[in-house]
């Protein structure tokens, strides 16, 4: 294979390194239709005006991607967000997904787990195992990852307010498997700021929540250096009704808040910044979504360099996971959702995502069946191996429309970030409701467009048809809650209660001081203290957040 004239020597070296690590991608570098596909979609000479403005993939400001060869060297991680019922049921689904070609796991937790209640708490009644897996103690986490080698599988956990507790459980399972913690890979979402404005699964007020987040940053930098300590999420902001510009602006504003909180806690920027990750929504306006991802990457690089003074390239990179847009899925004509998800996944790939989850066709009605999940995964695999879009880096670069749209989204997002900064920052704008109102107004405007027929949703306000036989849906057995409560009672009966009480008291004392809470949480978890018990200790010190409404 000869060197392509569009590549400089640095990029050629990066390409060869990628191929040595991932030889399965080597076949992608052969001739196609008698001609070699350009490794990088660029004009003919490196002096072209486009190149001067956009730069190369893998270089600041990373408009065109965070890796120099993108999917030519390695495909994105194919995740399928999954979790329901008990840990044993979810474990079977995970092993099925791995057998079907999933390359990373993504854990969905049930609502009680997300807001820090055990399954036997009265507030959990009717919700156990419904929208995700119930995790009460280390025993559940051990079952969740039974026979899944954590040194070989990257795991993303969508958990926020109690993130430190679920991370501690994951670490404890890895230790029991004999996995060296420095090899542990994955991501903990750990993004509580967006909970206050878009999702609602918060527990503690913003300021102690930021303390927990920076405690995780510091602990992971010392013990799990390959683990992403936060996934700063625009996904839920978009699901709540924001525009693409607002999704970028509010996500990056939250990111700046976390960076500043970590600096204020004495952490070193170029140590923790490289473990920051992001999580975006991919909606149905294909070209706008591609431009959104490119704009977010460039704007974050500039914020990190110019606002915070980051020096290392890894600190400037916006690496992100994408999920297709749940809010676009319709209960009517559910097979249409397969088409929607395909368009959205294609936007994420052409926008340069590092990781992708594709929603299933039936998710507007229930948790997905195995057959629906398989189709969603196959969508990613077909895009990767049959569509050809992974054969070149940033395939839409240089398009007048894409570049103009990228510039516009970046500029408008920066204007909103500046407005937030001038209003005393994200936390103040959460407390006074400014950010919530922005999202609510955008959501209302979107719904008005649908109701007036100004925005067509196929099968909903146009092109309706009589529904045929209802699809087969996954239903969680109502006896799951009883079984989960019985298992929790057994854990409490078999553990050493004296050790648990001592651990919880030490955690309470630490919460009242400036200590890092992660070691205390980990000690309690290892003695099978429950999620609810640990959260209740922290509630007693930090209090609980109450929404402005």
**Nearest-angstrom CA–CA distance, 522 and 118:** 18
246 plus 349 within the same structural domain: yes
197 plus 56 within the same structural domain: no
Domain boundary pick from 362, 397, 422: 422
pLDDT value at position 467? 72
pLDDT tens sequence across 23-73: 555 444 434 444 454 444 444 344 455 566 778 889 999 999 999 889 988
pLDDT value at position 244? 98
108: in domain: no
151: in domain: yes
pLDDT value at position 7? 45
81: in domain: no
Q: What is the pLDDT along the chain (549 residues), one digit of tens a residue?
A: 334 444 455 555 665 665 565 555 544 443 444 445 444 444 434 445 556 677 888 999 999 999 988 998 889 999 988 888 899 999 999 999 999 999 889 999 999 999 999 999 999 999 999 999 999 999 999 999 999 999 999 999 999 999 999 999 999 999 999 999 999 999 999 999 999 999 999 999 999 999 999 999 999 999 999 999 999 999 999 999 999 999 999 999 999 999 999 999 999 999 999 999 999 999 999 999 999 999 999 999 999 999 999 999 999 999 999 999 999 999 999 999 999 999 999 999 999 999 999 999 999 998 899 999 999 999 999 999 999 999 888 999 989 999 999 999 999 999 999 999 999 999 999 999 999 999 999 999 999 999 999 999 999 999 999 876 778 888 888 899 999 999 999 999 999 999 999 999 999 999 999 999 999 999 999 999 999 999 999 999 999 998 865
312 plus 171 within the same structural domain: yes
256 plus 155 within the same structural domain: yes
257: in domain: yes
Q: Domain of 395?
A: 139-422
378 plus 237 within the same structural domain: yes
Please spell the DSSP secondary structure of 396-418, one letter per residue. TTT-HHHHHHHHHHHHHHHHHHH
381 plus 283 within the same structural domain: yes
Domain boundary pick from 374, 392, 422: 422
* Tokens 């209960």 belong to residue: 331
With beta carbons less than 8 A apart as the criterion, state whether 538 and 204 touch.
yes
227 plus 313 within the same structural domain: yes
Domain boundary pick from 47, 70, 93: 70
With beta carbons less than 8 A apart as the criterion, state whether 149 and 178 touch.
no
pLDDT value at position 17? 64
19: in domain: yes
177 plus 54 within the same structural domain: no
CA–CA–CA angle 119, 109, 205 (5° rounding): 85
For residue 454, give Cα distances in angstroms to 336, 446, 518.
20, 10, 51
The structure tokens listed for 210 are: 């930021």
207: in domain: yes
177 plus 297 within the same structural domain: yes
65 plus 157 within the same structural domain: no
The structure tokens listed for 90 are: 């979810």
- Number of domains within the chain: 2
- pTM (2 decimals)? 0.89
Q: How many CA atoms lie within 13 A of 30 on its CB side?
A: 6
pLDDT value at position 393? 86
> Residue 361: CB partners within 8 Å, gap ≥ 6?
329, 334, 335, 337, 338, 341, 368, 372, 375, 376
Please spell the DSSP secondary structure of 363-377, one letter per residue. TTTSSPPHHHHHHHH
443: in domain: no
pLDDT value at position 42? 43
Q: At 364, which CATH number?
A: 3.20.20.240
pLDDT value at position 55? 80
Please spell the DSSP secondary structure of 41-110, one letter per residue. ---SSTTSHHHHHH--TTSTT-TT-SSSSGGGT-PPEEEEEE--SSHHHHHHHHHHHHHTT--EEEEEBP
446: in domain: no
């Amino acid at each position: 294979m000869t060197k392509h004239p569009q590549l400089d020597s640095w990029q050629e070296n990066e390409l060869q390194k990628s191929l040595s690590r991932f030889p399965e991608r080597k076949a992608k570098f052969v001739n196609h239709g008698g001609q070699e596909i350009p490794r990088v979609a660029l004009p003919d000479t490196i002096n072209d005006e486009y190149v001067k403005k956009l730069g190369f993939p893998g270089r600041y400001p990373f408009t065109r991607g965070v890796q120099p060869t993108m999917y030519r060297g390695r495909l994105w991680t194919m995740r399928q967000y999954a979790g329901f019922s008990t840990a044993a049921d979810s474990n079977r689904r995970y092993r099925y997904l791995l057998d079907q070609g999933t390359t990373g796991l993504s854990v969905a937790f049930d609502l009680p787990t997300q807001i820090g209640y055990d399954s036997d708490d009265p507030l959990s009644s009717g919700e156990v195992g419904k929208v995700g897996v119930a995790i009460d103690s280390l025993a559940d986490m051990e079952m969740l990852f039974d026979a899944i080698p954590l040194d070989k599988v990257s795991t993303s956990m969508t958990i926020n307010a109690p993130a430190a507790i679920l991370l501690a459980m994951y670490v404890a399972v890895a230790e029991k498997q004999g996995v060296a913690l420095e090899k542990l890979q994955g991501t903990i979402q750990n993004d509580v700021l967006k909970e206050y404005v878009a999702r609602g699964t918060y527990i503690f007020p913003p300021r102690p929540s930021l303390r927990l987040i920076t405690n995780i940053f510091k602990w992971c930098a010392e013990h799990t250096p390959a683990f992403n300590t936060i996934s700063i999420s625009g996904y839920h902001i978009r699901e709540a009704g924001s525009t693409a510009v607002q999704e970028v602006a509010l996500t990056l504003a939250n990111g700046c808040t976390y960076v500043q909180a970590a600096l204020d806690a004495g952490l070193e920027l170029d140590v923790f910044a490289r473990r920051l990750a992001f999580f975006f929504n991919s909606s149905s306006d294909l070209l706008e979504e591609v431009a959104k991802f490119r704009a977010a990457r460039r704007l974050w690089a500039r914020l990190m360099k110019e606002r915070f003074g980051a020096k290392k390239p890894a600190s400037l990179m916006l690496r992100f996971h994408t999920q297709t847009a749940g809010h676009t899925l319709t209960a009517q004509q559910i097979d249409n959702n397969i088409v929607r998800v395909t368009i959205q996944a294609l936007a994420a790939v052409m926008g340069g995502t590092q990781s992708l989850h594709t929603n299933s066709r039936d998710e507007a009605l229930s948790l997905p069946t195995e057959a629906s999940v398989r189709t969603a995964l196959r969508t990613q695999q077909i895009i990767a191996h049959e569509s050809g879009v992974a054969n070149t880096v940033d395939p839409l670069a240089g398009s007048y429309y894409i570049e103009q749209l990228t510039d516009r989204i970046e500029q408008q997002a920066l204007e909103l970030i500046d407005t937030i900064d001038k209003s005393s920052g994200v936390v103040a704008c959460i407390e006074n409701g400014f950010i919530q109102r922005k999202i609510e107004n955008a959501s209302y405007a979107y719904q008005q467009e649908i109701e007036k027929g100004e925005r067509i949703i196929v099968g909903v306000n146009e092109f309706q048809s009589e529904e045929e036989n209802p699809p087969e849906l996954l239903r969680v057995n109502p006896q799951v809650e009883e079984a989960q409560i019985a298992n929790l009672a057994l854990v409490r009966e078999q553990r050493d209660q004296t050790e648990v009480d001592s651990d919880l008291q030490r955690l309470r004392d630490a919460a009242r001081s400036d200590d890092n809470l992660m070691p205390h949480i980990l000690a309690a978890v290892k003695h099978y203290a429950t999620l609810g018990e640990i959260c209740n200790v922290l509630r007693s010190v930090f209090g609980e957040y109450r929404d402005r409404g």
